[in-house]
Amino acid sequence: MPELDFPLILEVEQLEQNLHDENLLLVDLSQGATYVQYHIPTAVYLDYAWIVRIEHPRMGLLPDPAQLTNVLGSLGITPETHVVTYDDEGGGRACRFLWTLEAAGHKRFSLLNGGLRAWSNEGHEISSRICYPTPGEFQVDMDFSGVATRQFILDNLSNDEVVLLDVRSPAEFKGEKVFAQRGGHIPGAVNIEWTEAMDKERELRLKPEAELRSMLESRGITQDKTVVVYCQTHHRSAHTYIMLKSLGYQRVKGYPGSWSDWGNEPNTPIEH
């Protein structure tokens, strides 16, 4: 069976044509109650909590290799598997899984554009039959090229080649809404709320490429820079990470823990 040659952003029509390919693994990161009620046929369920690590008050940390081995092995992912993922919220949880897969060394994956919403609202077949994956052995080969640490950010605060993209709400960015010991944002960060990339007229698919490029470039987020994306836990910003990758941005990093890491550290610099 030839390997699937899917783009990073996969349209529902292309998924429908390949739904039963043996090299395809479709992973649903919707709410559990949604999956039980309805999902795309052949999709297996993955609980978001399994792909993040918590060290209170820091949330959304990258799991250790042992946890990744267990979770990805339970899904039966092999080097030939092309993982397509989606959720019911516009892609945040699904993209966090893709970012995690990449960090674990698996590079064959796609985001279903518009997710469950686009699939079901546009009349494609849905199912309530629970699908169970065939477990296997997943070989974790950690790749930290897409991962930013707090130290990396501290070391590059005055580096013009590195741009920080904060995708939280403007109120969080300004420190008016605080979900950590301290509020505000990392000095020099640019704020574009993550939902700005979603097309509300097209079932939360990504907006057209030209529109996204214009939005980014007008804020100084250009392809020649290293772009570090963050939010509160690297859930929302994982969506931004995949969006940037889909536009050809080569040097993108996600900050696991995000503001729950930075804002709960007593000595990190902060702007309001």
Q: Point out the catalytic residue in the list 186, 231, 243, 244.
A: 231
Residues 40, 44: Cα–Cα separation, whole Å: 9
CB proximity list for 13: less than 8 A, separation 6 or greater: none
Angle at 6 between CA 239 and CA 95, to 5 degrees: 15
Residue 227: closest CA among 235, 236, 218, 237: 237
Q: Two tokens at 51?
A: 């792909």
Contact 187, 263 (CB under 8 A): no
**Does 131 participate in catalysis according to the annotation?**
no
Q: Note whether 41 and 126 are within 8 A (CB).
A: yes
Residues belonging to the active site: 231
